[in-house]
A and B are shown apart, each in its own frame.
Chain A
Amino acid sequence: MAGFSVDQIDDIKIAVSEVLLALIEHGGGQSIEVEFAIEQRSFTVRGHTAVTSFDAEHTDLLLCRTVLAGVCTAHGIELVDNQAHIWAAVAYASIT
Chain B
Amino acid sequence: MNETSNQSDSDDRWLRESFDRYWTYRDKNLRDEIAERTSWLATRGARRFADCGEPFDDLVQVARIGLLNAIDRFDPSQGVPFGAYATPTIMGELRRYFRDHTWSVHVSRRAKDLRPAVNVAIEALNNELRRSPRMSEIAERMKIPEEAVIEALEANSAYRAHVLDQSGRNTPSVDSDLDTILNREVIAGVLDRLRPRQRRILYLRFFDELSQAQIADKIGTSQVHVGRLIASSLAQLRELLQEDESGTAEG
Interface of A toward B, CB cutoff 8 Å: 6-7, 10, 13-14, 17, 21, 53-60, 62-63, 65-67, 69-70
Contact = CB atoms under 8 A, between A and B. Distances in A.
What interface size band does chain B fall in?
A: 20 to 34
Interface stretch (B4-12, B51-59, B150-158, B203-211): B203-211
Report which residue of B180, B183, B227, B244 has the largest number of chain A beta carbons within 10 angstroms of its beta carbon.
B183
A54 B80 CA distance: 10
Interface of A is mostly: helix
B88 A55 contact: yes
Q: Which 7 A-B pairs have the closest CB atoms?
A: A70-B206, A53-B84, A57-B91, A7-B211, A62-B183, A69-B180, A66-B183
Main secondary structure, interface of B, reads helix
B84 A66 contact: no
Contact of B227 (A10, A21, A58): A10
Given A14-B230, A53-B80, 14 more contacts: A6-B212, A6-B213, A7-B212, A7-B223, A14-B234, A17-B231, A53-B83, A57-B87, A59-B245, A62-B48, A66-B180, A66-B187, A69-B180, A70-B209
A55 B212 CA distance: 31
Contacts of A66: 180, 183-184, 187, 206
Interface string B73-93: 000000011011001101100
Nearest to A18: B234
A94 to B, nearest CB: 11
